[in-house]
Amino acid sequence: MVAEIRPSPIAGIWYSADAKILAAQIDGFLADAAVEELDGELVAVIVPHAGYRYSGRTAGYAFHSMMGLSPELVVVVSPLHGYHPADVLTTRHRAYGTPLGTIKVGQDALRGLKAAYKNANGEDLATLANDDEHSLEIELPFLQRALAGDFQLLPVMVRSVSPAVLLELGRSLASVAKGKKTLLVASTDLSHFYPEKIANELDREMLAQIEAFSPDGVLDAERRGTGFACGAGAVAAVLWAAKFLGANKVKVLHYSTSADETGDRRSVVGYGAAVVLKQV
């Protein structure tokens, strides 16, 4: 039997399992993020997903941009780092648990996504229980601290890097989001384990494609090796969904590497934060 609430496999490892310590740490990241007033309606954010020690400061910039908002639905799209034969997956649980409380999965939104995905791809959306995927869960405590009030979650995990599959996923996500107060979140880190100088070059190219609002450019940079993002598929799907929802601008807010926190510049991981806006 599948548990109603997905228990966290990463609390106490990737972030604190103590609710008071966790809340204070996130609030500190949010307070330290110097973000100018956004010149448009916030449709989506792109955020890193390493342990908070490493990427929390950069993530704080994206989550700061949504402080005080009260969406009905938050769609979090992440990679699935482990192997699975399906292109796109969602959860079999009805809620996610974090040290800060429980977040319900939006069942109406989930049914809508399953129907739209099957209509577009001719196959059922795969479901997963008791997964250990950190890249989706790690965004949830930030959402719990930044947003005003409760929200429902639509969790999506992506393995595909096919432009056709991701375009249709983006279209399906947009169809679910329309008519609701919805916020999209794409979870990705950038290059992994290069010397910092090389990482900066690779990350600069990937962030340029993101800021150009080019899902094809993101996937092409990954394919050609000119830039890397472990969540390239998640980013592309969210960018396409945001386009279908009328967004027309992406702005990169912050960039860092693990070296900024550890001092080790020989082998680093890159982190970027960006917002996707709808300007009138």
Average pLDDT of the residues in 219-239: 98
Structure tokens, 74: 């938050």
* Residue 35: pLDDT over 90: no
pLDDT on residue 2 = 77
Local confidence band at 151 (pLDDT 50, 70, 90 cut-offs): very high
Q: Which of 239, 111, 119, 218 is nearest to 170 (CA)?
A: 239
**12-278 CATH fold:** Protocatechuate 4,5-dioxygenase; Chain B (3.40.830)
Q: What is the pTM of this model?
A: 0.97
Q: How many residues does the chain have?
A: 280
Residue 133, token pair as written in the block: 């995927």
In the predicted model, is pLDDT for residue 66 greater than 90?
yes
Mean pLDDT to the nearest integer, 12-17:
96
Note the pLDDT tens digit of each residue in 96-115: 999 999 999 999 999 999 99
The average pLDDT across 7-33 equals 97
- Determine phi and psi for 194, rounding to 5 degrees: -100, 160
Amino acid 121: pLDDT:
84
Write down the pLDDT at residue 36: 85
Both tokens of 93, joined, read 């649980």
- Model confidence at 123, pLDDT cuts 50, 70, 90, reads confident
Residue 277 confidence class, pLDDT cut points 50, 70, 90: very high
Q: How far apart are CA 280 and CA 274, in angstroms?
A: 19
Residue range 19-45: average pLDDT? 95
pLDDT of residue 143: 98
Share of the chain above pLDDT 70, in %: 100
> What is the arrangement of strands in the sheet containing 101-104, beginning at the earlier edge strand?
5-6, 95-98, 101-104
- pLDDT mean over 57-76: 97
Residue 1 has pLDDT above 80, yes or no: no
pLDDT at site 274: 98
Q: pLDDT tens across 250-268, in order?
A: 999 999 999 999 999 999 9
Q: How far is CA 167 from CA 12, 29, 216, in A?
A: 36, 33, 9
Mean pLDDT over all residues of the chain?
96
